[in-house]
Structure formats: C-alpha cells, structure tokens
C-alpha cells in the first residue's frame, strides 16, 4: 500500500472513530440532560443523592461484614467450650459501653485479632488461636480491650461509611465527566489516525483526556487517603481506650511487640518476603494502621505518666512505619 493510500485509509478510520466516540458522548450527554431536566427541586435532589450514597455505603458495609464472617476458617466458640475466654470478654464488655460480641477462634497462621460489626447486635470478635500461645493473660486482655474499643466506637461502620461516601462522590463526578472523557478520547484517537500515527497519544486532545482522567483518579485517591487517615486515628483511640479500661498500657505495648516479632520473617531470604519493612511514604499514607513504633511510643508515654511500670520491649532497629501487617 502506498503512503498516500495509507494516509487516506487512516483518515477514514480516524473520522469513523470520531463519529463513534462523539455519538456515544452525545448519547450520554442527552441522557444526563434528560435526567437533569426531570430532577426534583435542589434540596430534594441533594437529599436523594445523600441517601443513595449512604445506602450504598451501608449495604457495602453489611455485605462485607457478612462475607468476612462467612469466609472465616474457624468456628464460633460457645460458652461451654471456653468459659474462661467468655468470662474475660464479659468482664471487659461490662466495663465498656459495648454489647457482648460473638466469639470466633480461627487458624489464620499468623497472630491476629480483629472486630467486625458492632451496634445493637454486638458484632463479633475474631481471635487467632496462636495468640493464646504467644501472649500472656494480661496481654491477651489488652488486645481484647483494643478490639472491643473498636466495637464500642462502631469504628468499622464509621470508616466504611466515610470510604463509601467518598467513593460515591467520585463516582458521581465521573458520570458527569463521562461525555467529555468520551469526546476527548475520540478526538485524540481520530487526530492520531488522521496524522497517520495511530499509536501517538501526544496531541492536545490526548493531554486533556489524561488531565481530566487524572483529576478523577486523584479524587479517588484523596477519598481513600481520608478514609485511611481516619482508620489510623481510630487505632490510636482504641489503644487509648484499652489502656484506660485495663489500666495497663504496658500490657498492650508488649502484646503489639510480640505480635510484630511473630510476624517478622527470620529466614535468610526475608528481604524478598511479603512482610518486608518499608519506609515508603505512600504505603504509610495508605496503611489502615499506624506503625507499631508509633503505637508503642504513645503507650510508653502513657505508662510513664501513670508511674513506674514494667519495661516495654524495645522496637526493632528499623522503623515499622506503613507496614501492611495483621490487623490488631
């Protein structure tokens, strides 16, 4: 095929692509225009959007909680099978403003404990069996108090709602921007074909498309960062509440250190492990938990303010900030 014939064929393809994309963009724009014309009054519209965002976030939270419990590789523990465990949880729940949770013991092959649900149904406290071998009784009680503090504050629900609302807002913005995204994509593809360079995406339309898509992605990242930041703050709050209820911040600090050390790889190829430490700022921002060093330092300061206490184990030589560890 001669160069002239190729340029002519490429131009035809470019025009066809432009027609397809612009048709799709006009269709979406007309649909949005119809929906906008049929909208209720602004206060009602805002109320409907808020209800939809809240409903979507709540449904996601409830389904996620049910899925976590359904996928557990463990069993619910009745009182007659572990009366001492139930007594410990009963005692802590009585000292806190929380309904007594259901207890599950699982084999996650890593020391871990986490709480799900909450509210009137009491939620659930999930405990990995290895914690009972790893921790002393006072340390187990401190971990239980920390998780019950999450149920007391209904933290899982609050964080899920914040995350869901943020994602809903970004989703609405994406729908509104969809006609522009389609039009810019079509213009970028068509101009590249017409210039005889189908793979070139350096033109002005392609740059505008990337800028708009990048802004929407930045909104999604911002919503995620806000939710993760709130999650880290709730971890600190749960540490404080556990120390208040048990009166023993040292026990929680020791438990956190023991769990950290148990999840640290010690084999010779540890640098290639999925548990490798990192100092990356991005991972710290995206982490749902603050570093163990930060948490232990806060608990140490609290213990010193209370008076002489037992020694808190020193941390590892490298920082643990931003590690994606087991949830505690």
For residue 214, CA distances in Å to 174, 211, 221, 293 come to 11, 5, 10, 35
Looking at 141, 147, 235, 260, which residue is catalytic?
147
- Residue 84: half-sphere exposure toward Cβ, Cα within 13 Å: 4
Has 141 been annotated as catalytic? no
| Distance between CA atoms of residues 278 and 320, nearest Å | 7
> Which residues does 180 contact at the CB level (< 8 Å), separation at least 6?
25, 212
* DSSP assignment letter at 268: T
Helix axes 204-246, 292-306, angle to 10 degrees: 30
Question: Do 294 and 80 touch, CB atoms closer than 8 A?
Answer: no
Question: Do 290 and 235 touch, CB atoms closer than 8 A?
Answer: yes
Burial of 138: CB neighbours in 10 Å, binned 0-12, 13-18, 19+: middle
| Distance between CA atoms of residues 256 and 64, nearest Å | 26
247: left (phi over 0), alpha (psi -120 to 50) or beta: left
Question: Do 22 and 189 touch, CB atoms closer than 8 A?
Answer: no
Helix axes 137-152, 155-194, angle to 10 degrees: 70
From the list 233, 243, 253, the residue with the least C-alpha distance to 145 is 243
Active site residues: 147
């Amino acid at each position: 095929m001669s160069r002239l014939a190729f340029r002519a064929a490429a131009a035809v393809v470019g025009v066809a692509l432009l027609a397809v994309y612009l048709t799709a963009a006009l269709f979406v724009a007309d649909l949005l225009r119809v929906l906008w014309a049929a909208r209720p009054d602004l206060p009602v519209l805002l109320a409907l959007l808020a209800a939809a965002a809240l409903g979507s976030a709540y449904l996601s939270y409830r389904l996620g909680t049910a899925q976590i419990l359904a996928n557990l590789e463990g069993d619910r523990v009745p009182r007659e099978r572990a009366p001492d465990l139930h007594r410990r949880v009963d005692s802590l729940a009585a000292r806190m403003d929380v309904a007594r949770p259901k207890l599950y013991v699982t084999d996650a092959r890593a020391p871990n404990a986490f709480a799900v649900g909450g509210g009137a149904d009491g939620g659930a406290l999930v405990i990995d069996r290895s914690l009972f071998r790893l921790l002393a009784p006072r340390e187990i009680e401190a971990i239980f108090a920390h998780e019950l503090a999450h149920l007391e504050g209904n933290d899982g629900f609050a964080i899920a709602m914040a995350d869901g609302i943020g994602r809903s807002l970004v989703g609405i913005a994406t729908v509104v921007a969809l006609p522009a995204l389609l039009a810019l994509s079509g213009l970028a593809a068509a101009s590249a074909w017409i210039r005889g360079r189908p793979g070139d995406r350096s033109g002005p339309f392609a740059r505008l498309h990337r800028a708009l898509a990048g802004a929407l992605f930045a909104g999604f990242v911002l919503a995620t960062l806000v939710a993760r930041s709130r999650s880290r703050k709730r971890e600190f709050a749960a540490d404080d509440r556990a120390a208040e209820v048990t009166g023993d911040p040292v026990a929680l600090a020791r438990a956190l250190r023991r769990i950290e050390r148990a999840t640290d790889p010690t084999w010779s190829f540890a640098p290639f492990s999925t548990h490798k430490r990192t100092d990356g700022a991005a991972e710290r921002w995206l982490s749902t938990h603050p570093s163990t060093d930060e948490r232990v330092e806060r608990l140490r300061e609290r213990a010193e303010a209370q008076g002489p206490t037992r020694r808190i184990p020193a941390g590892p030589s490298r920082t643990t900030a931003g590690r994606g560890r087991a949830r505690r």
